Amino acid sequence: MADGSRPTLTTVAEHARVSRQTVSNVLNSPEVVRPDTRERVLRAIAELDYRPNVVARQLRTRRSSVLGLRMPPASDGISGQVLDRFLHALTDEAQRAGLRVMLFTAEDDDAEIREYQNLRATTGIDGFVLANTHAGDPRTRWLADHGVPFVTFGRPWDTRRDDGGTTADHHPWVDIDGRAGTRAATQHLLDAGHRRVAFLGWPEGSGVGDDRFAGWHAALAGAGLADDVVVHRTADSVAQGVAAATRVLARDDVTALVCVSDSIALGALAAVREHAAQRPGRRAVAVTGFDDTPVARAVDLTSVAQPVGDVAARAVELLRSQIEGRDDVALDRQVLIEPHLVVRATSRAVR
């Protein structure tokens, strides 16, 4: 501090009248150092405000304690915010575990794979977090094939492999149980007395969307209402939500809408308001969304909240066990986390 250059192991060693290695041992395996010596070294460390140079350490140990994350392309949708909160939680959890998060960008999956190679070769990044896997993702396969530690936020929806292998199928992942989420939302509406609960979803084929659909269906089936269901599928946008809801509301018996996303729910809300204006005195149609984005909070929309903090914590845990090479049998390598419903005005009454 005083002379401008930072103290090193040797400085501390001289100060405590021991060797470099002993200081290093105090930090890395304190149990091999006699208590009184340890005490003396720790005092010297404190006095000099010594902090180990992680760069030098990394050069020797080939471990960086850095995680890589591709900055997901700025999605136009509202739900992009989930990734945002996840990133925050991930940084937090990683830091708590002594890891850092480093960002990078890439145009497409192939460019991302090239960046993996690059980051591994040049900076020695320890592992990666993938936040937006999709069906037939080449990235998980590449990482698995090259023995690079990684975790995905999101299940591998497509488990087929060209060569019939199964490596990618069993990679570690953490995900939100969307099915449980929509199920809870639907059950909440059924409990409130709604009998005709429609679903506004995405086109079939997206793993996430189908999963959420399944939850809604399961809840209705549980109540014996699955014989004649109302479903409308559409792209994820507010405008599409308005259109979809308007069509569904034409059926006058529908009293509640479970939406696959907050975007669609936001549109549905507008349609419901319109619909209600034409039928004064009638109880307004209830609406629920998914993701509990800030927008949902803003417009008082009931929504299914994704506990991204939990996801991040488990992701870091899974990565650590891979990086440290301990094949933790006790640790589930696939983690499904239950979301919870945040009940707000729109599922009670809409103005």
Least Å distance between CB 334 and DNA?
Answer: 31
> What is the DSSP secondary structure assignment for residue 6, as one 8-state letter?
P
Q: Are 196 and 230 in contact (CB under 8 A)?
A: yes
**Segment 52 to 91, residues that bind DNA, using CB under 7 A:** 52-53, 56-57, 59-61
Residue ranges of alpha helices (H) inside 262-302 are: 262-277, 294-298
The span of 198-206, 218-226, 253-261, 297-305 binding a copy of itself (CB under 8 A) equals: 297-305
Beta-carbon contacts of residue 36 (< 8 Å; ≥ 6 apart): none
Relative to beta strand 197-201, strand 150-153 is unpaired
In whole angstroms, the minimum distance from the beta carbon of 307 to a copy of itself comes to 13
Provide the residue type at 221 as one letter: A
Question: Which span (51-59, 85-93, 241-249, 307-315) binds DNA, by CB under 7 A?
Answer: 51-59
| Complex with DNA: residue 47 or 76, whichever CB lies closer | 47
| Residue 28 binding a copy of itself, by CB under 8 A | no
Q: Does 14 bind DNA (CB under 7 A)?
A: no
User: What's the token pair of residue 10?
Assistant: 């040797």
- Binder among 103, 111, 226, 235 for a copy of itself (CB under 8 A): 103
What is the SS3 assignment for 285?
coil
Question: Do 210 and 243 form a contact (C-beta atoms < 8 A)?
Answer: no
* String of DSSP letters for 104-149: E--SSHHHHHHHHHHHHHHH---EEEES---TT-HHHHHHHHTT--
Binding site for DNA (CB under 7 A): 5-6, 8-10, 17-22, 24-25, 27-28, 32-34, 36-37, 50, 52-53, 56-57, 59-61
Binding site for a copy of itself (CB under 8 A): 6, 51-56, 58-59, 64, 66, 71, 73-78, 80-81, 84-85, 87-88, 91-92, 95, 100-105, 118, 121-124, 237-239, 263, 266, 277, 294-295, 297-300
